[in-house]
Structure 1
Amino acid sequence: MSEALTDLTEDAFLGGQLRLKQKRSGHRAGHDAILLAAATEARAGDRVVDLGAGIGTAGLALARRVAGIRLGLLEIDPELAELARANAAANAIAAETIVLDVTADAQAFAASGLAPDSVDVVLMNPPFNDPARHRGSPDQARQIAHVATDQTLNAWVHAARRILRSHGALTLIWRADGIAEVLAALSRGFGSLAILPVHGEAGRPAIRVLVRAVKGGRAPARLLPGLMLNEESRVPKKEVMDILEGRAVLPLVEPC
């Protein structure tokens, strides 16, 4: 591992079921990735791709819950991809790590083993902060991981749509005030939406939305009851702790 990756922390996720190394500075994995994994439905044998995987948190958390998936971790930053590869190995999770820009063309994806219509499930946590309202970090990796351009979401959804098979599913997390952007991006080729607002506290506007969409789906959209992360005392709710520690899933996952 390169000298740039020697300053690492090892952090526990899913109540200690998953231990991941990540850089001490720059973008660090957190609750968003674990919520994304808990909102993603997959079955043994499914080919699953985590777009913009970073150190692998969301994809590896999903693989810890659903044994037997064929996991791909796609990441543009070679150093983060190296960490994702090492994290998968350290947790005894089979995963293929792919160094590739999500916005690359179909030929580049196919050359990396991701041909059109070849994937069952995609999950993604794209950069979503509005650059007009978000002061960019001087840390370039953190800036790339957090700040969206006006084309980011469309480009990522397009990549997911291209590699998903017909009736394959995409699950994504985005900032709640950008829900109109999400609906617009998904209007091209996706349907059967399930939308889960995530609130920091009761009585406050949602801060995130988790969305599951089906390629070619035709069922009516469903707006689910909001998830409240904290009690009024700002203590995390028990149901949320169960999700973060890997004992429960979110209602975007259909009961078995």
Structure 2
Amino acid sequence: MTGTTDDLLLGGRVRLRQPVRGFRAGLDAVLLAAFVPARPGQRVLEAGCGSGAAFLCLAARVPRLAVVAVEREPAMVALARVNAAANGVAATIEDGDVADVALARRLGPVDHALANPPYWPGGTAPPGAIRRAATHEGSAGLDAWARFLVAALKDGGTAALVLPAARFDAGVAALRQAGCGATTLLPLAPRVGQPAKRVLLRARRGGRGPATVLPPLALHDADGRFTPAAESVLRDAAAI
């Protein structure tokens, strides 16, 4: 396929073909996958899977997962299917939209659901339709993404999101409104002692326990290298 690069994630455990231009997977997908508490043999759903980076990283860490994924951009659906096959991951990848809650119910029930959704409700969008759709909300805001994830979940299953820190409150509210509670928040700081720029959110369908804020995970030391904690996740496929 033209216009793509072949990249490696998790220290080479995952091979990923993705577009040269447009939305390219980065640290967010790897960290999101590490935050999903999946166990061998469970069923997981990713909404807006792009080229498949997050579900591939999750499957590389947890054996025998049954993966279902949804993506609305046909070119990315094709890439995700190629990547799943290249990595030996049994994945059903649907061409669909998160506005279609009936699709989520048909694909479920799943034990865990995850997404790296478009997060900005306004502002200047980047060029390119695919990248713009990956970062800026269109007709489907965070509420729609949360409803889609939760509609596919078993009772007691978890929904996980990665978001800018400035949107954590909107993410918590969206998950709560969709029927998830007992939220866990993990701040992701660029360096030790700096404010978080990203957060990971996880909540449980039907959960009623108190919310939990975990200690921040700093990604880089002062010299720019990954911290040992980040290295274990990004290179060694450790769970968070």
- Above 0.5 in TM-score? yes
1:8 matched to 2:1:
no
* Structural RMSD (CA): 1.5
Out of 151, 168, 180, the position equivalent to 2:169 is 180
Runs of at least 5 residues in structure 1 that lack an aligned partner in the other structure: 251-256
Task: Note the alpha carbon deviations across 1:125-176, whole angstroms, 9 max, x for none.
Answer: 00113422xx312211110011125851100001111111111111111110
The residue type equivalent to 1:249 in the other structure is: A
Please say if residues 17 and 83 of structure 2, whose CA atoms lie closer than 8 Å, have aligned partners that are also in contact. yes
Q: How far did 1:59 drift?
A: 0.5
Contact 2:50-2:80 at 8 Å conserved across structures: yes
Does the CA contact (< 8 Å) of 2:52 and 2:80 recur in 1? Answer: yes
Aligned to 1:120: 111
* 8 Å CA contact retained: 1:200, 1:229: yes
139 and 86 in structure 1: CA distance in 2 versus 1, 3 angstrom threshold? same
Q: Distance in 2 between matches of 1:37 and 1:246?
A: 13
In structure 2, what is the equivalent of residue 212 of structure 1? Answer: 202
1:201 maps onto 2:197 in alignment: no
- TM-score, structure 1 length as denominator? 0.89
Look up the SS of the partner of 1:177 in the other structure: helix
- Partner Cα separation in structure 1 for residue 68 and residue 187 of structure 2: 27
Question: Residues 185 and 199 of structure 2 are in contact (CA less than 8 Å); yes or no, is this contact kept in structure 1?
Answer: yes
**Number of residue equivalences:** 239
2:41 matched to which residue of 1? 45
Most deviating of 183-192 and 52-61: 183-192
Q: How many Å separate the matches in 1 of 2:116 and 2:104?
A: 19
Q: 1:247 to 1:101 in 2, by over 3 A?
A: closer
Cα distance in structure 1, aligned partners of 2:139 and 2:199: 18
- 8 Å CA contact 1:171–1:210 kept in 2: the answer is yes
Identity %: 38
State the shift of 1:53 in Å.
0.3
Asked if 1:22 corresponds to 2:18, the answer is: yes
In 1, Cα distance between the equivalents of 2:217 and 2:198?
A: 10
Corresponding residue number in structure 1 for 2:27? 31
Contact in 2 for aligned 1:73/1:84 (Cα 8 Å): no
* Partner residue in 1 for 2:211: 221
SS at match of 1:80: helix
